[in-house]
Chain A
Amino acid sequence: MLSYIVRRLLYTPLIVVGVLLVTFLLFRVVQGDVSSDIAGKNASPETIAEIRKEYGYDKPLIINTEAARERGVLAVFDSQFFHHFKSALTLDFGRSRSKQKISTLLMEGAIPSLSLTAPIFLGLLITSVSLSMLVALRRGGPFDTSVVVVCVMGMSLPILATILFGQYFLAHKLGWFPVFGYEPGLAGAKYFVLPALLGMLAGLGGDVRFYRTVMLDEIQSDYIRTARAKGQGTLRILYKHLLKNAMIPIISKVVLAIPFLFLGSLLLERFFGIPGLGYLMIEAIGARDSQVIMALTFIISILFVLGNLATDVCYALVDPRVSLN
């Protein structure tokens, strides 16, 4: 088991390197030099050259042999790739097009994103797990069937349509919620209600179906049947046995979902004016700010890798069979 954990730990840096490679490939190789983009209108060639220097586009892509000849062997690393590497690993992503510090932008965006996604996440978890337990008990009955039908229908609706209709009818037409806005702290809670509800609505179908399958697997197991045969009450069965045994698949899904919370919901943030990371991403796409897009991609991925690592290690500790695979 220990060897599994060690192996897993050693593997993580490899994934980080992989993520770095992907972002490098996309934003430095495929996309190429964007310095004249940054320069703005009426820029002189000198200004563009200056920006090339600032962003390191004047350096060779992978290794700097020329510098190595002039300044010694170590200067071979004075290349776009190694600078990309360094800036990512030191979490110093430089400044955005608008000269704001990217790390500040990321930190500022994380809070609003979390304030939206955390309630969605928790709400979804509680609703979908309880709902799936209820339907699993009445498998095949009219309640189960109708829930499944509604879930599939929900999954079939495009999320953009859900958001637009929701915002239009519930906020504009009926005036039940504020249409738009953001305020930090508790004062801003009212702005989060509708986007959180819509976010839950959009995710409910898929989640209920997932947990229903999990519950069905469990409910067919012998201990539940035994418990039922013994005449134990439904609630007791639900919470004592079913939930307890379904915990592992639930937890694994939960842990994997956590890093995504930081990303926020791109579309919800955009439509409800919540200045989170998803919003930052959309904005960066519009402004072609590849530095910001790259930083966001990297950070979220690293969170994900770490979350993954944590789950696997916990698993290995809890369930020795895992390490055999």
Chain B
Amino acid sequence: MYRAAMFTGSLVATLLLTVAFVGCGESGGNSEGSENGSGSAADRGPLVTYSATSAKVRGMDPMDIGDTTSSGVASGIYDCLYQYHYLKRPYELIPSLAAAMPEVSEDGLTYTIKLRGDAYFQDDECFKASGGKGRKLVAEDLIYSWKRIANIKNISKNWWIFDGRIKGFDEFREYTKAVKDKKDVDYDRPVEGLEAVDDLTLRITLTKPWPQVVFMLAHLPTAAVPREALAHYGDEFLNHPVGTGPYRLKDWRRGSKIILERNPTYREELYPSEGEPGDEEAGLLADAGKRLPLIDQIDISIIEEDLPLWLKFLAGDLDISGIPKDNFDTAITPSRELTPEFREKGIVLKVYEEAATYWYGFNMEDPVVGKNQPLRQAMNLAIDRDEFLTLFLNNRGVPARGVLPPMIAGYDKDINSPYTVYDPELAKKKVKEAEAVHGGPLPVITLTMGSTDSTARQLGQWFARSYERVGITLEVEYMDWPTAQEKVKTKSAQMYAMGWVADIPDAENFMQLFYGPNGSPGPNNMNYKNPKADALYQKLSVMEDSPERHELIREMQQIVVDDLPCVFTLHRVAFILRYDWMKNYKPHVFGYGLGKYRNLDAELRRQRVGR
């Protein structure tokens, strides 16, 4: 439920990524009803959009995907049962491979899902029976795809999605444990809770009510993959994706470039014809009713250093980009607008809030920080969140005083702690109290940073300086991300940089991080435990979203901010730049694979940059 859920001290460095999967392109010849009057597709050639990512794509097997970049690319190739509506806010799910939203039984345990009958896998040599022609997608394909995740021999990172949720599925996983070789696992072995009633009807039976399951069915790892491709490519499947999505992989030069091209057999899906107020004026409905995808080719460069990526964007070689920290001032004025120089180039700025909260977590089982509430209060009070934002994020964020980011239903600005503000004098008093609780001078506190780059070093230094001012000695240890993760998971870190980026628009996504039984190695890596909070979570996690549920969410948040198991720092705000020739761009916090909606005014681009 969380994509690349944890960020480290290097959160600043990650600012630039996540723009990779944006695609744009004018409705080329292939899309019906193209009336742009700028010449036919035949003499223009294919419409290509250019973007870049600062992280490498590791592989394109949905089962293994856990990072944002790979998700962004692979979701152009694969489809899930559901997807987010591109324009509507608050975020809303609509069918993708499914024909309609699921029928849920009275007790909330059985979900019956009808599939649309016109989804085909992309043509690929793995479909030997049909001479390379893609086969129609059936309900059995989804069950097979999910069983791959359950098969422990596959060492999928995504088992948490189904863990304990579906009837008989955990038993299937148990069974795979006993199988000697990966190849001997029998995928036809029935699972009680996963049933293909007929080719186009899927029935899921849950172990207990779980209203958020629909969001999971829109999450990339649950996408449909064809069995033939696995039989044909084996372990190399991750380099030969075969899906049902709007694009297929044309070329992939690892470490430098990925090219996706239009999938000619993509089912008929149309650009939405309604959105939220203002979309019409913003031109986001100009392509309403046109067949997707609108562009022919998505060209993604992999550029790991910020500066070259930025320069490529300025040269007009990329259609869209984030803003590197170090170049922010050249692009954005102090009043948070685009500089005239950039506006003249035809660059457009889009600012939006991300669904993320960042904090520095305490290990609540640690004898020093875990048992000392005044200390945790002091450590919250000593942090000047505004200075933090200025120094490290060019103010691209808002201070966080509680758990939920403002955009999530259930957020309440009045839920906060008197200690999540900057007050060094009060912090000093609290340090005195903390010393009394500890029974002597405070020992050195160790902060674990999961990065060794210069930004992490500067962050570490800044924290140490902040704490020194109030009489707390902080030592920072820097290590690579896997090692830091390991320390956190084994409860051997005292304090560590952490954050959550939600990718479902539901508060439960955040609240489960504070649920006692989810302690390490589970998602509650602070090992926070409060019986009252636990009781509330148990109730709200099985409820349909409602005002009563929001009340429970509020209560639980208040308990957490009173206990302060972490130093809350900020919610991020994204600044995305694009050229005005890129059409239909609307930021979407949860969805991936939005490239199919984007469009491109190729004529304007040619005028501006001659490309």
A residues lining the B interface (CB < 8 Å): 34, 36-44, 46-47, 50-51, 54, 95, 98-101, 105, 108, 172, 179-184, 270-271, 273, 275, 279, 283, 285-288
Min C-beta distance of B177 to chain A, whole Å: 7
Give the segment of B82-90, B120-128, B188-196, B299-307 that binds chain A.
B299-307
Interface residues of B in 286-303 (CB under 8 A from A): 301-303
Number of interface residues of B (CB under 8 A): 46
Query: Across the interface, which residues of B come within 8 angstroms of A271, CB to CB?
Result: 305
Q: Which of A36, A42, A98, A179 has the most CB of B within 10 A?
A: A42
With A46-B177, A270-B304, A288-B480 already in contact, 15 other A-B pairs whose C-beta atoms are closer than 8 Å: A36-B486, A36-B489, A37-B485, A38-B155, A41-B66, A41-B523, A43-B489, A51-B155, A98-B59, A179-B312, A181-B312, A273-B256, A273-B304, A286-B480, A286-B481
Determine whether the beta carbon of A275 is less than 8 Å from that of B254: yes
Within 8 A of A (CB), among B1-57: 5-6, 56
Q: What are 21 A-B pairs with beta-carbon distances under 8 A?
A: A36-B486, A39-B155, A40-B157, A40-B485, A41-B66, A43-B157, A43-B489, A46-B152, A50-B152, A100-B238, A101-B235, A108-B254, A172-B307, A172-B311, A180-B307, A180-B311, A183-B256, A273-B304, A275-B253, A279-B255, A285-B480
Q: Which chain A residue shows the least CB distance to B6? A: A41
Q: What residues of chain A lie closer than 8 Å to B480, measured between beta carbons?
A: 285-288
Q: Closest CB of chain A to B51's CB: distance in Å?
A: 15
Residues of B within 8 A of A275 (CB): 253-256
Q: Report the minimum CB–CB distance from A54 to chain B (whole Å).
A: 7
Complex: how many Å from CA A110 to CA B238? 22
Tell me, rounded to whole Å, the shortest Cβ–Cβ distance linking A27 to chain B. Answer: 15
Closest Cβ of chain B to A98, distance in Å, is 4
Which B residues, 435 to 486, have Cβ-Cβ distances below 8 Å to chain A?
480-483, 485-486
Within residues 218 to 277 of chain B, which ones have a CB less than 8 A from any CB in chain A? 235-236, 238-239, 253-257
CA A298 – CA B304 in complex, angstroms? 27
Which partner residue on chain B sits nearest A182 by CB separation? B256
Kindly provide the distance from the CB of B184 to the nearest chain A CB, expressed in whole angstroms: 15
- Does B303 contact A273, Cβ atoms closer than 8 Å? yes
* B522 contacts chain A at the CB level, 8 A cutoff: yes
**In contact, A273 and B308 (Cβ under 8 angstroms):** yes
Contact of A50 with B59 in the complex, beta carbons under 8 Å: no
Q: Report the Cα distance A41→B482, complex, angstroms.
A: 9
Which residues of chain A are near B325, meaning CB under 8 Å?
A: none
Interface string of B481-504 (1 = CB under 8 A from A): 111011001100000000000000
Q: Decide yes or no: A37 and B482 within 8 Å by CB, A42-B522, A172-B307, A275-B256 being known contacts.
A: yes
Interface of B, helix, strand, loop or mixed by DSSP:
mixed
B58 within 8 A of A: yes
Q: Do B308 and A180 touch across chains, with their CB atoms under 8 A apart?
A: yes
- Contacts A40-B157, A46-B152, A54-B155 given; does A100 touch B6 at CB 8 Å: no
Chain B residues with Cβ under 8 A from A46's Cβ?
152, 177
The 7 nearest A-B residue pairs measured at CB: A275-B255, A180-B308, A98-B58, A37-B482, A182-B256, A288-B482, A179-B308
Task: Tell me which of A108, A179, A279 has the highest count of chain B C-beta atoms within 10 A of its own C-beta.
Answer: A179
CA distance A182 to B256 in the complex (A): 6
Query: Contact at B152–A47, with CB atoms within 8 Å?
Result: yes
Once A99-B238, A180-B303, A273-B303 are accepted as A-B contacts, the answer to whether A40 and B66 lie under 8 Å apart by CB is yes
Q: Which of A42, A54, A98, A99 contacts B235 (CB 8 A)?
A: A99
Complex contacts, B309 vs chain A, CB 8 Å: 180
Give Cα A182 to B254, complex, Å.
11
- Bound together, the chains give a CA A53 to CA B93 distance in angstroms of 41
B491 to chain A, nearest CB (A): 13
- CB pair B483–A288 under 8 Å, yes or no, is yes
Q: Which of A46, A180, A183 has the most CB of B within 10 A?
A: A180
Contact with A along B385-396 (1 / 0, CB 8 A): 000000000000
Q: Does B135 contact A (CB under 8 A)?
A: no
The answer to whether A99 touches B59, judged by C-beta atoms less than 8 angstroms apart, is: yes
Instruction: Report whether A184 and B152 are in contact in the complex, using a CB–CB cutoff of 8 Å.
Output: no
Q: Which residue of B lies closest to A286 (CB)?
A: B480
Is B521 among interface residues, defined by CB-CB distance under 8 A? yes
Contact across chains for B307 and A179 when beta carbons are under 8 A apart:
yes
Question: Is B328 interfacial (CB 8 A cutoff)?
Answer: no
Cα A237 to Cα B5 with chains together (Å)? 70
Q: Which residues of B contact A101 (CB under 8 A)?
A: 235-236
Known: A99-B59, A108-B254, A288-B483. A41 touches B5 (CB 8 A): yes
CB distance from A76 to the nearest CB of B (A): 22
Residues of B53-78 at the interface with A, using a CB-CB cut-off of 8 Å, are 56, 58-59, 61, 64, 66
Contact B160 A42 (CB under 8 A): yes
The closest CB in chain A to the CB of B70 belongs to A98
A residues less than 8 Å from B597 (CB atoms): none
Tell me, in angstroms, the Cα distance from A290 to B254 when the chains sit together.
20
Q: Does B111 contact A (CB under 8 A)?
A: no
B152 contact set on A, CB distance < 8 A? 46-47, 50
A50 cross-chain contacts in B, Cβ below 8 A = 152-153, 155, 177
| B169 beta carbon closer than 8 Å to chain A | no
Residues on A with C-beta less than 8 A from B56 are 283
**Best-buried of B255, B309, B480 by chain A (most CB within 10 Å):** B255
The distance from the CB of B386 to the nearest CB of chain A, in whole angstroms, is 31
CA distance A283 to B304 in the complex (A): 11
- Please measure, in the bound complex, the distance between the C-alpha atom of A44 and the C-alpha atom of B160, giving whole angstroms: 9
Is B419 interfacial (CB-CB < 8 Å)? Answer: no
Does B159 belong to the interface (CB within 8 Å)? yes
Given contacts A42-B521, A42-B523, A95-B235, contact A47 B155 (CB under 8 A): yes
Contact with A along B126-163 (1 / 0, CB 8 A): 00000000000000000000000000110101011001
Contact call A100/B253, Cβ cutoff below 8 A: no
In the complex, residue of chain A having the shortest beta-carbon distance to the beta carbon of B479: A288
Shortest CB–CB separation between residue A288 and chain B, in angstroms? 5
Q: Measured between C-beta atoms, what is the minimum distance from A67 to chain B in Å?
A: 16
Q: Which residue of B lies closest to A50 (CB)?
A: B152
B521 to chain A, nearest CB (A): 6
A37 near B483 with CB under 8 A, answer yes
B157 — which chain A residues lie within 8 A by C-beta? Answer: 40-41, 43
Q: How far is the CB of A213 from chain B (nearest CB, A)?
A: 38
Give a binary string over B310-332; 1 marks a CB under 8 Å from any A CB, 0 the rest. 01100000000000000000000
Q: How far is the CB of A52 from chain B (nearest CB, A)?
A: 11
- Give the interface centre of B6, B235, B307, B309 by most chain A CB atoms within 10 Å: B307
Once bound together, how far apart are the Cα atoms of A101 and B233, in whole Å? 13
Q: Known contacts being A42-B160, A98-B59, A184-B253, is A37 close to B486, with CB within 8 Å? A: yes
Q: Which residues of B contact A100 (CB under 8 A)?
A: 58-59, 238-239, 254
CB distance from A274 to the nearest CB of B (A): 8
**Interfacial residues of chain B within 496-537, with CB under 8 A of chain A in the complex:** 521-523
CA A181 – CA B303 in complex, angstroms?
A: 8
A50 to B174, CA, bound (A): 12
Q: Is the CB of B482 within 8 A of A287?
A: yes
Residues of B within 8 A of A95 (CB): 235
A285 to B481, CA, bound (A): 11
CB distance from A235 to the nearest CB of B (A): 44
Query: In the complex, what residues of B have CB within 8 A of residue A286's CB?
Result: 480-481
Instruction: Kindly provide the distance from the CB of B538 to the nearest chain A CB, expressed in whole angstroms.
Output: 20
Nearest to B156 among chain A residues (CB) is A47
